[in-house]
Amino acid sequence: MKVLKFDLNEEKTSYLVVTLAGVPGPFFRPSPALIHASAGGFQLCSESDTVGLGSRLIGKGFNVICSYMYPVGENYRFPQVVIDLMRAIKLVRDHAEEWGVERDQIVISGQSAGSFICMATGNLWNRPEFMEKAGCAGEEGKPNAMVLGFGPMFCGQKTDDGLTYVPNGELVGDQTPPAFFHHARQDRLVSVYQTIAMLDAFERKKRPYAVYISSVGDHGATGMPNRILHPDGAVGPCIDDWFELCWRFLQNQLGISANAQPPQPMAPPKNGSMSGEGSLFAPLLPPKNGVPVTPADLPLGGPDNLHMPFNAAFQDQDFTVFK
């Protein structure tokens, strides 16, 4: 295993952690790659959020698993987070031969806030002004598929000029890549209607999608790597409930071989350790200067009030609508 780190903007407010599961050799087949954006309410970002989906995809033959550590808190800006993710996608493509990546099988995934960033990137990667800033002349910054969990898809965003509201459902078009959605019906932080509205948008535009909606579970439940038994006796969802459905979706949409990657020689671990700072399997550290986010702080979003800024701080303030 080999771990690399790349800054994604001049201010060094975002970076990409790249974990190479194996070393390309004479019998190596190019494989898909994953870039994951974590949950965190736009206030914190954790590399450990990548492990649940990333480790399972390594088992399916993915050789490259990346954590997109986007700017948070006071540094968070839209659309900079989209431009930086486009740079991350381009970076993986630029190293495709070196890292053993199939250039047209780059998957982005996100949970909660990270899901919004991925969806916005899937919708906006072909905007000329974004392409220019990301250094893309063609489809270098295009994701080939998305895995999106419990995201605030219709969402207020902080920009350099103030506040803007991004209605992702209205931005879906021919440029939008296939997407697999997962969400829990009882989510009290980001309503399941956020996902339902995106399914409606995908269907109207005839874009490929699939979905798993759990009948139980609160915010983040479907992204849990392990199942939780609730006090009322309900058995909560976890990634295992939908992973195989998602995998088949990715195989069908991207033409991924059903055969797993053959065993590969492993790179010698750095300093004799398989974990540590910057590693995919690094321990979760408490966020610095994190701002707690609770359900009381955020609008729920529902069938009659879906189109509203996500963060409660945006209420009673002027904002523009991104188009």
Q: What is the pLDDT of residue 322?
A: 84
- Predicted pLDDT at 245: 97
Residue 181 backbone dihedrals phi, psi, to 5 degrees:
-110, 145
Contact 138, 93 (CB under 8 A): no
Q: How many domains does the chain have?
A: 1
Number of helices followed by number of strands (H, E) in the chain: 8, 11
pTM: 0.84
Domain range for 258: 2-321
pLDDT at 184: 95
| Residue 297: per-residue pLDDT | 47
Torsion of CA 81, 82, 87, 93, to 10 degrees: 130
Residue in this structure with the two tokens 């806030």, named with its chain if needed: 113
Edge-to-edge strand list for the sheet holding 154-159? 154-159, 162-167, 320-321
pLDDT at 12: 95
CATH number at residue 185: 3.40.50.1820
Both tokens assigned to 175: 């440029």
The pLDDT assigned to 247 comes to 97
What is the structure's pLDDT at 234?
Answer: 84
Place of tokens 């990270």: 114
What is the model's pLDDT at position 281? Answer: 36
Give the CA distances from residue 42 to residues 12, 100, 203, 310, in Å, rounded to whole numbers and listed in that order.
Answer: 17, 32, 28, 11
Residue pLDDT tens, the chain, 323 long: 899 999 999 999 999 999 998 766 656 788 999 999 999 999 999 999 999 999 999 999 999 999 999 999 999 999 999 999 999 999 999 999 999 999 999 999 999 999 999 999 999 999 999 999 999 999 999 999 999 999 999 988 999 988 899 999 999 999 999 999 999 999 989 999 999 999 999 999 999 999 999 999 999 999 999 898 878 888 999 999 999 999 999 999 999 976 655 555 544 444 443 333 443 333 334 444 444 444 444 444 666 655 554 554 455 456 778 88
Q: Where are the beta strands (DSSP E) in the chain?
A: 2-7, 15-20, 31-37, 64-69, 101-111, 145-149, 154-159, 162-167, 179-184, 209-214, 320-321
- The pLDDT score that the predictor gives to residue 67 is 98
The residue behind tokens 């736009």 is 42
* pLDDT for 22: 77
Residue 97 has a pLDDT of: 93
